[in-house]
C-alpha cells in the first residue's frame, strides 16, 4: 500500500506544479484582468497574493477535481492531449464535443422543460459546474433566456430557495452574528480582485416582500447579466447578502429556512452593520469597486446612497436604473411624438418611492436639456406630476400636510387655476393633459389605466406614451392600450416576454410593444464605471447612459412601434453606454484610470470577457 502511494506522488507533484505555474489557467487569468480598470485594485497591497491564481485552483491535484471546478471545466470538450496531460483519461466518455454542440444540447434541454422555474434551476446547475458554457449560452440566447435567468423567474426561485439550496459558494453571506468580523469574512471569498459587488438585505424582493437571506438569487442573477450583457469578468463580481433577520413569519416558522431566525433589525444596529460592510469593502477591495444596491427598502437605499456616494460608485437599479431606461424610451420616441423631453407633461401614478425616484431623474434630465436657457431643477419639476391612491398630489388636497417628504418636491399648488384637485386618474388626465403616463408599483397596481383613461390620453395627444411599469401585473395590457388609442399610443411595459411577439389588433394591424428592461442599461453603466475606474456614480451619468441608449434606436425600430433597440446585440449596446459613462467620468474629473484610452468604445469591446473555452497547455 505504501509503495502504491509513493508511486503516485510524482504524478500529483507534477500536476500541482502545472497548476501553480498557471499553465492550466493562464488564458482565463489574462481574460479576467486584461486592463487595469477591471483587473487591478486600489486596496491595500499587503493582503494581495503573490500569484493571481485563485486559491481553489492551487489546491486542485487531480483530473476529477479539475472537472468539478466550474471556472476551468470544459466537459467533453477536453482534447485528447488535454485528457492525457491533465489526468482526465477514463474520467470522461471518449467523445469530444465542441462548446457549440454542448450549448445546443443545453438549449434543447431548457426548451423541453415544463416551466421557467425548472429552466432557471437547470441554468443555475450549469453555472455551478461549467461557467464558460453557462455564459456562452446566455450571451448567444439573451433574448430567450433573460426572463428565465432574471425577472420574473428569479423571484419565484428566491421564494423556494430554502428547498433548492445547495452548499456551493455562489455568494458571500454576512449576518448580524458576523459584526466585527466582516473584513475577515471577505477574505474567505476565493477571488481577490473584486471590482463589482451586488448586495441585498432581502427586505423588498418585488411583490414577494421580505425574503431574508433567500433573496440571494437576485444579486447572483444581476451579476450574471453584468457578465453576459456587459462583458465584466465573473471572477471580479461578488454577490452578497446582508442577513439582518426577516419579518416573514412563514420563513421564521420553516424548519428549512437557511437564514437567521429572528425579526429584522432596523435603526442603529442595521446602520452599524452597513457601516462595517462599506469599511470592509474599501479596506479589502478599494474605493473604485462598483456597489449595486438591490431589493432593499427605498428609504434604506436612498439613505445609503446619500451617505456613501462620495466614497464609492454606488447606485440602485430600482431608483436610478429604471428611471434612466424610462428616459431613454421617451428620448427615442421623439421622432414619433415630435417632442423633446422638456416638451412633455409627465404623470406618474403609483405608491411609494418608486414614483418619486423616476420623477427625480426625469426632472434632472429636463434641466440638463434646458441648461442652455438656464432652466433649474425647480423649473423642470413643474412638468412632472404625481398621483397616488388619494388623487393628484397637490397642496389643495385635504391631506397635503400629511404627505411623505419624498413627494413634496412634486406637490403642485393646485391642478389648474380653475380646478383645485383631481380625486382620480381619469380626472387628472383630463385636467393636466399629460403626454406621458407612467404607472409604477412594487405590488399589483391599485390604479389601472382603463379604457376611459387610455381614450383620454389619445384624445389629448396624437402619439401618447403609455408606460405601465408595475410588477407583477401592469396597469394595462398592450393590446388594450393599442385598441383604446386606435393604435396611436407608444407602449412599453416591463414584461420581458412581451418583446418576443407582436400584438395583433382585431382589425389586423400589428404593433410591437417595447420592454422597459433595466438590463439594457446597468451592465453598460457598470462597464463604463470600471473602464474609467470612476470614484463616483452620479445621476448625470445615468442621463448620458439614457441618451446613448436612445441613439441606438433606429427608424426601423420605431416603424414597428419599438422605442428600445433589439436586445440581441446587448454587448454592443453596453459598449456604447460604457463609452458615454466613462467619458462623463473623465470630463467630471472622477476617473482614476490613466492614461485615458484613445477610443473608449473600442477599449470596452476589446476587454470584454469572452466565455469561449481555452486551450490548456
Reported as a single tens digit per residue, the pLDDT across 387-411 is: 988 889 988 877 777 788 888 888 8
For the chain, the first-to-last Cα distance in angstroms comes to 32
**Which residues, 6 or more positions from 494, have their beta carbon under 8 angstroms from its beta carbon?**
151, 469, 470, 471, 474, 515, 516, 517
Residue 215 has pLDDT above 60, yes or no: yes
Residue 60 has pLDDT above 70, yes or no: no
Compute the CA torsion angle 300, 306, 312, 315 (nearest 10 deg). 60
SS (H, E, C) 118-134: HHHHHHHHHHHHCHHHH
Contact 607, 231 (CB under 8 A): yes
For 537-541, which contacts have Cβ atoms below 8 Å and span 24 or more sequence positions?
537/290, 537/309, 537/313, 537/314, 537/315, 538/309, 538/588, 538/590, 539/320, 539/360, 539/361, 539/364, 540/364, 540/368, 540/584, 540/588, 541/581, 541/584, 541/585
Residue intervals in the chain for CATH 3.40.50.10380: 142-316, 523-606
Alpha carbons within 13 A on the beta-carbon side of 66 = 25
Residue intervals in the chain for CATH 3.40.50.720: 321-520
Residue 436 has pLDDT above 70, yes or no: yes
Contact 516, 494 (CB under 8 A): yes
**What's the chain's average pLDDT?**
86
CATH node for 2-111: 1.20.1370
Q: How confident is the model at residue 42 (pLDDT cuts 50, 70, 90)?
A: very low
Residue 219 has pLDDT above 80, yes or no: yes
Interatomic CA distance for residues 202 and 216, integer angstroms? 8
| Pairing mode, strands 436-439 and 314-316 | unpaired
Residue 552 has pLDDT above 90, yes or no: yes
Continuous H helices in 309-460: 322-332, 334-337, 353-369, 377-381, 425-432, 451-460
Interatomic CA distance for residues 192 and 587, integer angstroms? 30
Residue intervals in the chain for CATH 1.20.1370: 2-111
Residue (of 493, 480, 406, 412) closest to 449 by Cα position: 480
- Range name among 67-76, 237-246, 275-284, 438-447 with the lowest pLDDT average: 438-447
For residue 443, the model assigns a pLDDT of 67
Q: How confident is the model at residue 519 (pLDDT cuts 50, 70, 90)?
A: very high
Contact 503, 560 (CB under 8 A): no
Interatomic CA distance for residues 176 and 277, integer angstroms? 11
Residue (of 338, 321, 328, 364) closest to 551 by Cα position: 328
Interval 297-318: pLDDT, tens: 888 998 999 999 999 999 999 8
Out of 3.40.50.11270, 3.40.50.10860, 3.40.50.10380, 2.30.30.140, select the CATH number for domain 523-606. 3.40.50.10380
Helix (H) or strand (E) holding 437: strand 436-439
Contact 99, 130 (CB under 8 A): no
Interatomic CA distance for residues 180 and 214, integer angstroms? 23
Interatomic CA distance for residues 318 and 124, integer angstroms? 24
Q: Please compute the mean of the pLDDT values over residues 359-377 and round it to a whole number.
A: 90
Report CA torsion sign: 17, 18, 22, 25.
negative
The SS3 of residue 366 is helix
Residue (of 409, 297, 435) closest to 354 by Cα position: 297
Residue (of 393, 326, 411) closest to 362 by Cα position: 326
For residue 37, the model assigns a pLDDT of 53
DSSP assignment letter at 8: H
Q: Say if residue 140 is preceded by a cis peptide, omega within 30 of 0.
A: no
Residue (of 467, 474, 364, 454) closest to 410 by Cα position: 364
Q: In terms of residues, how long is the chain?
A: 617
Residue 41 has pLDDT above 70, yes or no: no
Q: Please compute the mean of the pLDDT values over residues 428-435 and round it to a whole number.
A: 94
- Range name among 60-74, 81-95, 459-473 with the lowest pLDDT average: 60-74
Q: Domain 321-520: which topology?
A: Rossmann fold (3.40.50)
Interatomic CA distance for residues 387 and 160, integer angstroms? 35
Q: How confident is the model at residue 496 (pLDDT cuts 50, 70, 90)?
A: confident
Class of domain 142-316: alpha beta
The SS3 of residue 209 is coil
Interhelix angle 131-140/99-111, nearest 10 degrees? 70
Distances (CA, A) of 411 to 401, 415, 421, 462, 519: 11, 10, 11, 28, 31
- Range name among 172-186, 312-326, 401-415 with the lowest pLDDT average: 401-415
Amino acid at each position: 500500500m505504501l509503495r502504491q502511494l509513493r508511486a503516485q506522488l510524482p504524478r500529483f507533484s507534477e500536476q500541482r506544479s502545472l497548476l501553480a505555474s498557471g499553465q492550466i489557467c493562464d488564458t482565463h487569468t489574462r481574460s479576467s484582468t486584461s486592463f487595469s480598470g477591471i483587473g487591478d485594485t486600489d486596496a491595500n497591497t499587503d493582503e494581495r497574493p503573490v500569484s493571481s491564481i485563485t486559491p481553489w485552483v492551487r489546491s486542485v491535484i487531480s483530473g476529477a477535481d479539475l472537472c468539478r471546478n466550474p471556472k476551468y471545466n470544459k466537459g467533453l470538450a477536453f482534447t485528447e492531449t488535454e485528457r492525457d496531460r491533465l489526468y482526465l483519461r477514463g474520467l470522461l466518455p471518449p467523445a469530444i464535443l465542441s462548446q457549440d454542440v454542448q450549448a445546443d444540447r443545453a438549449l434543447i434541454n431548457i426548451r423541453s422543460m415544463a416551466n421557467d422555474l425548472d429552466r432557471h434551476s437547470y441554468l443555475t446547475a450549469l453555472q455551478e459546474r461549467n461557467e464558460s458554457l453557462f455564459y456562452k449560452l446566455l450571451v448567444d440566447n439573451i433574448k430567450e433566456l433573460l426572463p428565465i435567468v432574471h425577472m420574473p423567474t428569479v423571484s419565484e426561485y428566491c421564494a423556494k430557495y430554502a428547498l433548492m439550496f445547495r452548499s456551493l459558494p455562489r455568494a458571500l453571506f454576512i449576518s448580524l452574528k458576523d459584526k466585527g468580523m466582516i473584513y475577515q469574512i471577505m477574505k474567505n471569498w476565493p477571488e481577490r480582485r473584486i471590482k463589482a459587488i451586488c448586495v441585498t438585505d432581502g427586505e423588498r424582493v418585488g411583490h414577494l416582500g421580505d425574503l431574508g437571506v433567500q433573496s440571494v438569487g437576485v444579486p447572483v442573477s444581476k451579476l450574471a447579466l453584468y457578465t453576459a450583457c456587459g462583458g465584466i469578468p465573473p471572477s471580479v463580481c461578488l454577490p452578497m447578502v446582508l442577513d439582518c433577520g426577516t419579518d416573514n413569519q412563514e420563513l421564521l416558522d420553516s424548519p428549512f429556512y437557511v437564514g437567521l431566525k429572528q425579526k429584522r433589525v432596523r435603526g442603529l444596529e442595521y446602520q452599524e452593520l452597513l457601516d462595517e460592510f462599506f469599511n470592509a469593502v474599501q479596506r479589502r477591495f478599494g474605493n473604485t469597486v462598483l456597489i449595486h444596491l438591490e431589493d432593499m427598502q427605498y428609504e434604506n437605499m436612498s439613505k445609503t446612497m446619500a451617505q456613501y456616494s462620495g466614497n464609492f460608485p454606488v447606485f440602485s437599479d430600482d431608483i436610478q436604473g429604471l428611471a434612466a431606461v424610462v428616459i431613454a424610451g421617451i428620448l427615442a420616441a421623439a421622432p414619433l411624438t415630435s417632442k423633446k423631453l422638456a416638451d412633455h407633461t409627465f404623470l406618474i401614478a403609483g405608491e411609494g418611492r418608486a414614483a418619486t425616484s423616476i420623477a427625480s431623474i426625469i426632472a434632472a434630465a429636463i434641466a440638463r436639456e434646458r441648461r442652455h436657457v438656464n432652466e433649474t431643477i425647480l423649473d423642470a419639476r413643474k412638468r412632472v406630476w404625481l398621483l397616488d391612491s388619494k388623487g393628484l398630489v397637490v397642496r389643495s388636497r385635504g391631506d397635503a400636510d400629511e404627505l411623505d417628504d419624498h413627494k413634496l418636491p412634486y406637490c403642485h399648488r393646485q391642478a389648474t387655476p380653475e380646478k383645485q384637485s383631481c380625486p382620480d386618474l381619469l380626472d387628472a388626465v383630463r385636467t393636466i393633459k399629460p403626454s406621458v403616463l407612467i404607472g409604477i408599483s412594487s405590488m399589483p397596481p391599485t390604479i389601472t389605466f382603463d379604457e376611459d383613461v387610455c381614450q383620454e390620453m389619445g384624445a389629448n395627444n396624437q402619439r401618447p406614451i403609455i408606460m405601465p411599469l408595475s410588477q407583477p401585473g401592469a396597469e394595462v395590457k398592450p393590446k388594450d392600450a393599442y385598441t383604446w388609442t386606435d393604435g396611436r399610443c407608444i407602449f412599453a411595459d416591463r414584461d420581458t416576454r412581451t418583446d418576443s411577439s407582436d400584438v395583433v389588433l382585431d382589425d389586423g394591424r400589428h404593433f410591437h410593444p417595447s420592454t422597459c428592461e433595466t438590463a439594457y442599461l446597468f451592465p453598460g453603466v457598470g462597464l463604463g464605471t470600471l473602464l474609467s475606474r470612476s470614484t463616483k456614480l452620479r445621476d448625470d451619468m445615468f442621463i448620458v447612459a439614457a441618451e446613448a441608449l436612445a441613439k441606438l434606436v433606429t427608424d426601423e425600430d420605431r416603424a414597428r412601434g419599438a422605442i428600445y433597440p433589439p436586445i440581441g446585440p446587448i454587448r454592443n449596446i453596453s459598449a456604447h453606454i460604457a463609452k458615454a459613462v466613462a467619458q462623463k467620468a473623465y470630463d467630471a474629473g472622477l476617473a482614476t484610470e490613466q492614461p485615458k484610452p484613445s477610443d473608449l468604445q473600442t477599449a470596452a469591446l476589446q476587454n470584454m470577457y469572452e466565455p469561449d473555452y481555452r486551450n490548456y497547455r
